[in-house]
Amino acid sequence: MGRGRQKAKATKQAREMKYFTPATDYSALQRELSGPSNRPSSRYPEEPAEPDYSAYEDKYADQFGDDNDDEDARRTG
């Protein structure tokens, strides 16, 4: 017998939640989304930048050879 009241109450609560529209503070939303304007560019500014290794790119290429050598495929052991 209590099921009807329980269902009615649940329906009422669901309807209230569905159509509930709280007052929106758009200026606070804008502040939150834009963030502070004086933020540092990096999260950890004390970290040094990664060095440029491009000068060493081909320095050892002749010692190790290419990965796509056809000689290795022809060799049989």
pLDDT at 38: 64
pLDDT at 67 over 70: no
pLDDT at 25 over 80: yes
Q: Please state, rounded to an integer, the average pLDDT across all residues of the chain.
A: 76
Does residue 77 form part of some domain? no
Question: Would you say the C-alpha torsion 26, 27, 31, 34 has a positive or negative sign?
Answer: positive
**What pTM value is reported for the model?**
0.29
pLDDT at 42 over 70: no
Does residue 75 form part of some domain? no
Does residue 74 form part of some domain? no
pLDDT at 65: 63
CA distance 29 to 20: 19
Structural domain including 59 reads 2-65
Does residue 47 form part of some domain? yes
Mean pLDDT score, 45-62: 73
